[in-house]
Structures are given as structure tokens and as C-alpha cells.
Structure 1
Amino acid sequence: MALPPPPDDPLSDDGLERMFLSLDRASGIVAAVSGGPDSIALMHLLARWAAGPGRPPVFVATVDHGLRPEAAEEAAFVAREAAALSLPHRTLPWTGSKPAAGVQEAAREARYRLLVAHARELGASHLVTAHTLDDQAETVMMRLARGSGLQGLSGMRRETDRQGIRHGRPLLGLPKSLLLDLCRREGWRFVLDPSNANELYARVRWRRLMPLLAEEGLTAGRLARLAERAARADEALDRMAREALERAGPVQEGGGLAFQAGALGREPFEIAVRMLALSLARIGLESPRLSRLEACAERLREAVDQGQALRATVAGALVRLDPGGKVTLAREPPRRRGR
């Protein structure tokens, strides 16, 4: 007779309860399943958890990006596996023209757009994906290489909001090897996506480097812990920036936002940068690249320190500092074409 799993086993009944705890009050759950071992494991574990009394319904969805001829058959495979678990399945095709460059980013945006729309159609409040510890480590390294700040190094969050749908990543603390072993041990069939070996994609190239980094001590687990610590620091700094912005007396002025600029000089530079980002968000603009935001914050701090006026643009916003020490951010007016 097999011994019961230890209490701290994430795949035990107790482990599943902890893993899917945030889903317990969902109105419905859409599980994104591509057919790979990670998502197949997620589907089986969700089915096992959802079999308990009072659980929300689980719906399986596969996005067919139309980028490979095998994709349609893989979606049909997932449909058969879901049916064997008595889970409803839907294939969501990404139709229309595909970009010649940046196809992975475009595919990612299309995937979440389709999944969120499907969740709304079903009345489901939650979407879950099978991102793992290894995915988190790769994300941290890719963002580090792009020069990301703390927010980027926080990696993927266990839960995020996608246009009112809660996106959970319940497997984020588990390594891919554990899920692959689980599929093989339980006899859960899966498919392998050949694009995961295509070195045209940056993530695949980083994946090849991860074993070398692990030999030097930079393991997936340590990178994931770095992401958790960066997330905690990012949250604390963001709260400090919000408090600093409120102390600066922000007021709405004709669709823009104005506040006393002295805080930009008094606060640490990181807080000043975040105050600027928060101000842009309040007028409905997204932050630009961190380097551009930092450059704008530096110019503002220098002007405040010297008591000078300043006029600058950043992320589609016109930033004006008057000699009295008030800074105003408003959307740039449309530019007129020359004759």
C-alpha cells in the first residue's frame, strides 16, 4: 500500500486546498489549457479539486493562434482530454492577419483578450493559467536584461486583474519538472509544442541558459524568491509614493492634474519617479519606459531646486512647472500637420 503524501506536499488534498484557495468563491473558472504538460497537470488538478462539494464550475479553453498547422489538432486533443474529465471545452481561434515582427507579444495579447472575453461570456470571475516556477525565473531574467526596475523584477504576480476578470497562477511556486513527472506518473497524456524549442524566441534562448545559471547558484527557486522580495519592496515604495502625492495636494484642473512640486525635490528619487508615474495614471496615461520617466523626474527635480520654470513632454503628457512651484500634467494637445 502506498504511503499517504506528507502534509506539505502541494499535490496532496491539503496542498490542493491551499493552492486553489483563492478560487473557492469564484462564480466560474476558465482554465487556459494548451495541451503541454504544465497546463494538462493544471486541468487534472483543478478537476480533482472541483469535484469537492460546493465548488465553482470549471471551463477549459484552448487558444488556437493559427501559427502552426498542428495547433487545431492540439486543441482537439485538449477537448477530448477535458471531456474525459467531464469538463466543458471551447477552442478560441485568433483570426485575422498576424504581425511580421513581435509575433509572440501579439499572440500573448490576443490570447488574454480571447480568454477574458470567453470568461465574461460564461459569467466566470476567474481565469487560471499554468505558469510555473521556471516561467517566473525566465521572466525575471528577461526583464533584468531589458533594464527593468523593481516592478519588472517582481515577475508575474500570483493574482492580477484583467479588465475585471481575476487572473490566477496557482502553479507559480511549482517547478516544471514536478508537473512533468506528475503527468508521466499518472498517465496524463500531453503534447509538446515545437515552438518551445525555437531559438528565434527570446524566452527559449533564456530557457537554454537557465541550467548554466543554476550551476553558479542562480537557480529558478532563488530567482523566484528575488521576484517575491522585489514585489514586497515595490508594494512598499508604491504606497510611500501614493502618500507623498497626497501630501502634495493634487487637484484636478481641466482634465489635468496639478500638485505642489516641492515634494519631487524633498522625497528620495525613486519616490519622485513613482509620483510622476501615478500622476500620469490619474490622467489616463500609461507610464513610458523607466529610463524616460527617470529622465523627466530628474529634470523636474533640478528645476524645482533652482526655482525655474520647466516645460517637458513624457508619455503623451505635457508637464509644466511654474515659478511658483506648481507642477501640472495634462494630455498633450493634438499636433497640427504642416502645410
Structure 2
Amino acid sequence: MTAASTDRPEPRPLTAADAAVLFHSLAGDEALIVAVSGGPDSVALLALLAEWAGQGRPRLVAVTVDHGLRPEAAREALMVGELCAGLGVEHRIKRWLGDKPQTALQEKARAARYALLAEEVRAFGATAIVTAHTADDQAETLLMRMAAGSGLAGLAGMAPRSAVSGIVLARPLLGIVKARLVATCQARGLSFASDPSNDDPRFTRIRWRRLLPELAEAGLSAGRLGQLAHRLARADEALDRLALRALAALPAGGGGGQRWFDFARLSQEPEEIVIRGLALVLAAAQDSDAEAEVPRRLARLEDCTQALIAAAREGRALRRTLGGFRLSLAGNGVLSLAREGRRSRGVHPATV
């Protein structure tokens, strides 16, 4: 009796036909910034995009951000430039200058990277930044957010296309595992760099990355986690639509820097819809798009909403603060919102 083979099939390189499907949503863009670090994910993305865009689709500019954190980074950026020259793609190098932070380095480096890429979006007149986020990145993001106690919006993970501060981010490879991109580079004879920080266990994401093989052995693969994120994104969108519909049916008004709506009627909806409705009202009341994008802690939003629901059902007045606003619930169930001072933000159990 022969034991069954447990060998897994070799990852299949991506083809031009695969790329045509993956990049279909980018066909309407006039010009794209491609974020290329020099790692296998972004090198494969660049090669596939260059081949695809050579058929008359969007103009491309590849941008490499040198964070100045490793001496090898400058050489790797030049390597990307050589690759771009061979592919006929314009290449630009952006440098993160100044002193580097001692804490939350990865998060701040990521913010700096997107700020520098956004500069090139405006300079080039591009319509989006294309990144090489993979199914593995999506799985890591989902696990990190689960551990942080995120709600549905967070667990939906990264979207294939989203906007940050008015800049569109396109992630066409979210459904592709990293191994296939490595295989793509190898099949095309493309050199790529390896960043040692991608294996540094000091960083939270890397610790989760190290768990992925063990989770995959138990059936929780990157593909399964990505599928879960997609399903949660679908549910999140549906619930947001229901919350908007519920809000549209409420008596509401405003003026003089204040807004009000019938919270008592909203509180008759399922709790999830009430929480989302309050979040949507607060986002709409912000002074700017950038301010509206600032995330609120879900636990605080839930705590505030639950207190308001209890008060509305008992006919009690209640005051709270949340997201920079004073929330005043009257005994008749009408909730008014007014901006609070800059000094105290969050939720405080101040009752009347």
C-alpha cells in the first residue's frame, strides 16, 4: 500500500490572459502610478501591467519610495529603474527625508509612502495608485483586525478599489497569493529584492505572517481568509444601505451649526442599523472629507449608541460626546448634534 502524496502543486505563474482579467477594472483610467518597491509582488505587478498597458491602455509611471531605513534601499530603487527601462516604463524615485520615528515605524513609513505617491499622482495627472497587495496581505490584515476587535467594516479588509484623502488606490492582485507572483518573476527571469524587515518579528504584521502556514495547514488559508473578507465586505455594504434607508425615513433638520433627527424612531431598528445610522450622521456632520475619514473606535460608538437606545426607550434625556460632537437626547426622543470644543473628544458618560 502506497501512502498518498502530500506534495502541493507548484504555484502557477500569471499569464497575459490572467492579467487581462485582473486589470480589466483599470481600463478606464487614463494614467496610473504603479508603486514598485522592488520586491517580487510589485515587480510582477509592474511587468504584467507594462505588457497589458502596451496594448494602448493607461499610461504608466512606476514610483519607488526610498524610506532611508536601509542602506540597500537606494541600490534597490536603481534596480527597479533598470527594470523599468527594459519594460519601457517611466520611473521616478521618491525619498522619505528627515528624522525617522522611534515608534510605530511601519505605520508611519506607510503613511509617508502614500503621501509621496500622492504627490506623483498630482504631478503626473494620474487617476489612481496601483499597489501589489496580495491575498496574503489581505489575510494578514484580516487577522490583525480580528485581534484588534474590529467590526464588519474593518474585517472586510482592503477593498480592490478605495479612496484615501481623495486619492484612489487600486489593488488588482488581492485575490492572488504571493507564491504565484514569485513564480511569475521566476518564469520571466525578473530579479527582485528581499527586504529583511519583512521577516522581523518585532512588527505585528510579521508575527501574523509567520502564523499563516500553520493556519493554512488547518484549512484557514490566505484564500479562505480573503473569501471571508469579501463576504464581510458584501454584508457591510448591505447594512450601510439599510442604515441610509432608515435615516432617510426619519424626521430631521438642522441649522446654525446643529443637526437633529428622531432617534427614538431609529432606535426601533436592529441595533446594528442604529449604530451605523449614528456613525453616518456623525460622518455627514464633519467639516471636511478628510475629517470624515478619521476612524472612530467601534467600542465607543457602540457604548454611546446603546446608552442612547436605553434612554430613548425609557423617555429619558441624555447627553454624551462622540467624535467631536455633543449629543443631546431630549425626552421626546429627538437627538441633537453640536460641535464640542477641541479639548475633549471621545465618549463620556455625562447624563442629565
TM-score normalised over the length of structure 2: 0.90
1:38 aligns with 2:46: no
Which residue is equivalent to 1:202?
A: 204
Question: Hey, what's the Cα distance between the residues in 1 that align with 2:279 and 2:196?
Answer: 40
Give the partner amino acid of 1:204. I
Q: Look up the SS of the partner of 2:92 in the other structure.
A: strand
Residue 256 of structure 1: how far off its partner (Å): 2.9
Question: Hey, what's the Cα distance between the residues in 1 that align with 2:193 and 2:269?
Answer: 53
Which residue is equivalent to 2:304?
A: 296
Alpha carbons of structure 1 residues 256 and 96: separation in structure 2 relative to 1, 3 Å: farther
Q: Look up the SS of the partner of 1:29 in the other structure.
A: strand
Q: Deviations over 1:37-85 (max 9, x none)?
A: 0000000000110111x31211000111112221111111111111111
Residue 238 of structure 1: how far off its partner (Å): 0.4
Give the partner amino acid of 1:32. A
Question: Hey, what's the Cα distance between the residues in 2 that align with 1:271 and 1:334?
Answer: 29
How many residue pairs get matched? 327
Alpha carbons of structure 1 residues 260 and 44: separation in structure 2 relative to 1, 3 Å: same
Residue 165 of structure 1: how far off its partner (Å): 3.1
Which region of structure 1 is more displaced relative to structure 2, 96-105 or 60-69?
96-105
Residue 10 of structure 1: how far off its partner (Å): 8.6
Question: Hey, what's the Cα distance between the residues in 2 that align with 1:304 and 1:162?
Answer: 36
Q: List alignment gaps of at least 5 residues for structure 1.
A: 1-8
Question: Hey, what's the Cα distance between the residues in 1 that align with 2:119 and 2:250?
Answer: 40
Question: Hey, what's the Cα distance between the residues in 2 that align with 1:296 and 1:92?
Answer: 43
Which region of structure 1 is more displaced relative to structure 2, 165-174 or 121-130?
165-174
Alpha carbons of structure 1 residues 335 and 139: separation in structure 2 relative to 1, 3 Å: closer
Residue 166 of structure 1: how far off its partner (Å): 2.2
TM-score normalised over the length of structure 1: 0.93
8 Å CA contact 2:16–2:48 kept in 1: the answer is no
Q: List alignment gaps of at least 5 residues for structure 2.
A: 1-11, 287-291, 345-352
When the two chains are superposed, the root-mean-square deviation of aligned CA atoms in Å is 1.5
Alpha carbons of structure 1 residues 57 and 335: separation in structure 2 relative to 1, 3 Å: closer
What is the 5 A alignment of 1:1-339? Answer: 11-52=14-55, 54-284=56-286, 285=292, 286-335=294-343
Residue 330 of structure 1: how far off its partner (Å): 2.1
8 Å CA contact 2:31–2:126 kept in 1: the answer is yes
Question: Hey, what's the Cα distance between the residues in 2 that align with 1:215 and 1:14?
Answer: 30
8 Å CA contact 2:14–2:180 kept in 1: the answer is no
Question: Hey, what's the Cα distance between the residues in 2 that align with 1:335 and 1:142?
Answer: 31
Which residue is equivalent to 1:6?
A: none
Question: Hey, what's the Cα distance between the residues in 1 that align with 2:223 and 2:203?
Answer: 23
Residue 97 of structure 1: how far off its partner (Å): 2.6
8 Å CA contact 1:280–1:287 kept in 2: the answer is no
Question: Hey, what's the Cα distance between the residues in 2 that align with 1:10 and 1:308?
Answer: 63
Q: Deviations over 1:87-122 (max 9, x none)?
A: 111111112232221111111111111111211110
Q: Deviations over 1:134-190 (max 9, x none)?
A: 111111101000011111110110001233332111111111011111111211000
Residue 334 of structure 1: how far off its partner (Å): 4.2
Question: Hey, what's the Cα distance between the residues in 2 that align with 1:154 and 1:330?
Answer: 31
